[in-house]
């Protein structure tokens, strides 16, 4: 086996194989999953430090892999993770998807002030909350991939709850996510109150969306409109939440609700399994777009975009979905003033053929 430092994750390897196969098949032309949309440089590339908040128990003082394990901690651990970015050279492995972010070291800290340092002016912050079946390392690196993929210009934080990282432990994971709602609520409240933080933007995935909605309910109950003033965008990617539970929750978060963008896919096989496990209840991430729009939410329908076994992580693998997240967070002018190919808030992802052709011409 290769050493850990050079090991390639399954997700990264699949991306690399897909990229190589596409390059051979269409001579460098790109589809929707690689539209060539360009943003400014991400803050993580210039300063590869990820903020961490977790309810997992540290392993060996978090001095080496796996850093944090699968068991629940009674307290929140805060830390700074030093990352190693992928090599971005034109002829590097990252050019075909075989180089990736990695964690170089973890430095636990005592409080939020220690995470943010001595900032002289506030910067926006992106909090990523992962889903089912995730190790700490995968969750942290997904946060980095997401932030870099949308070229986020502020701080990035991974909130990691104690998933057992096993396909057979769905119920444990769901309970562990709910166990962590008070911790997420506290972390968000501390961030909202900190002078170094501008808007707090949230992207949650799968089971992590259920945890996030519960924390938002608690936050709004305590802070009212102040929480809505300080929170930027809330993006729920493939939300694994019962539709009826979600509908009731939307009615309890007041002015936070219009900030919510839902990324759905009716062909999400992971949510199809979840629906069966949960007694055939409709999961929000697989609901019909019109059903969610009636709640006053923005909806991105990613159905049938790209290819995959589960179709559950298009927020990472699909450039059109990343563009939607980028626009929802508001780093670019309003939709209409800026209309890159492949995405429109409130619409489907498929661009017109002319836009695809123009994008391919730009990429070549």
**Mean pLDDT throughout 2-22?**
39
**Any long-range contacts for 303-307 (C-beta under 8 Å, 24+ apart)?**
303/264, 303/265, 303/266, 303/267, 303/348, 304/265, 304/267, 305/32, 305/33, 305/265, 305/349, 305/350, 306/31, 306/32, 306/33, 307/18
**If you average pLDDT over residues 66-74, what whole number do you get?**
95
Position 78 pLDDT exceeds 80: yes
Number of domains in the chain: 1
Least confident residue range of 95-109, 252-266, 268-282, 344-358: 344-358
- pLDDT > 70 in the chain, percent: 70
Q: List the single range of 229-243, 281-295, 318-332, 347-361 with lowest mean pLDDT.
A: 347-361
Domain residues for the domain of 133 are: 4-363
pLDDT of residue 318: 81
- Domain harbouring 344, CATH code: 3.40.50.1820
List the beta strands (DSSP E) in 33-174: 49-58, 68-84, 102-109, 123-129, 155-160
One DSSP character per residue, 57-78 reads EESGGGTSTTSEEEEEEEEEEE
Q: What is the pLDDT, as a whole number, of residue 274? A: 67
pLDDT for position 330 = 76
- Structure confidence at residue 355 (pLDDT): 33
Report the percent of the chain where pLDDT is more than 90. Answer: 52
Contacts of 130 (CB under 8 A, 6+ apart): 138, 139, 142, 143, 158, 159, 160, 161, 163, 205, 206, 208
Per residue in 14-29, pLDDT (tens digit) is 344 333 332 222 222 2
Peptide bond into 66 cis (omega under 30): yes
- Tell me which of 63-72, 95-104, 251-260, 350-359 is least confident: 350-359
Work out the mean pLDDT of the chain and round it to a whole number.
77
pLDDT digits (tens, 9 = 90+) for 178-228: 999 999 999 999 999 999 999 999 999 999 999 999 999 999 999 999 999
pLDDT band at residue 51 using 50, 70 and 90 as cut-offs: very high
State the sign of the Cα–Cα–Cα–Cα dihedral 65, 309, 202, 168: negative
């Amino acid at each position: 086996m290769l050493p850990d430092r050079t090991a390639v994750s399954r997700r990264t390897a699949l991306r690399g194989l897909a990229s190589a196969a596409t390059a051979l098949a269409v001579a460098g032309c790109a589809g929707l999953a690689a539209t060539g949309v360009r943003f400014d440089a991400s803050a993580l590339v210039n300063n590869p430090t990820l903020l961490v908040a977790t309810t997992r128990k540290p392993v060996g003082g978090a001095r080496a892999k796996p850093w944090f394990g699968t068991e629940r901690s009674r307290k929140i651990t805060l830390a700074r993770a030093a990352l190693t970015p992928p090599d971005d050279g034109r002829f590097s492995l990252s050019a075909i998807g075989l180089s990736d972010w990695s964690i170089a070291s973890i430095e636990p800290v005592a409080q939020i002030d220690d995470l943010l340092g001595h900032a002289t002016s506030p910067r926006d912050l992106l909090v990523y909350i992962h889903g089912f079946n995730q190790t700490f390392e995968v969750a942290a690196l997904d946060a980095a991939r997401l932030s870099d993929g949308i070229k986020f210009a502020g701080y990035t934080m991974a909130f990691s709850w104690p998933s057992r990282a096993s396909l057979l432990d769905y119920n444990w994971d769901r309970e562990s996510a709910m166990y962590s709602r008070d911790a997420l609520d506290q972390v968000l409240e501390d961030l909202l109150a900190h002078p170094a933080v501008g808007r707090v933007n949230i992207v949650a995935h799968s089971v992590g969306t259920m945890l996030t909605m519960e924390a938002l309910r608690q936050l709004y109950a305590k802070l009212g409109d102040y929480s809505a003033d300080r929170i930027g965008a809330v993006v729920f990617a493939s939300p694994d939440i019962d539709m009826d539970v979600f509908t009731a929750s939307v009615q309890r978060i007041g002015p936070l609700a219009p900030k919510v963008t839902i990324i759905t896919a009716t062909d999400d096989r992971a949510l199809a399994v979840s629906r069966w496990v949960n007694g055939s209840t409709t999961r929000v991430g697989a609901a019909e777009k019109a059903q969610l729009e009636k709640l006053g939410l923005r909806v991105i329908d990613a159905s049938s975009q790209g290819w995959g076994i589960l179709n559950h992580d298009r927020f990472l693998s699909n450039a059109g979905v990343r563009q939607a997240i980028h626009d929802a967070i508001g780093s670019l002018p309003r939709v209409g003033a800026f209309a890159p190919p492949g995405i429109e808030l409130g619409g489907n992802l498929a661009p017109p053929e002319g836009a695809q052709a123009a994008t391919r011409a730009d990429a070549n």
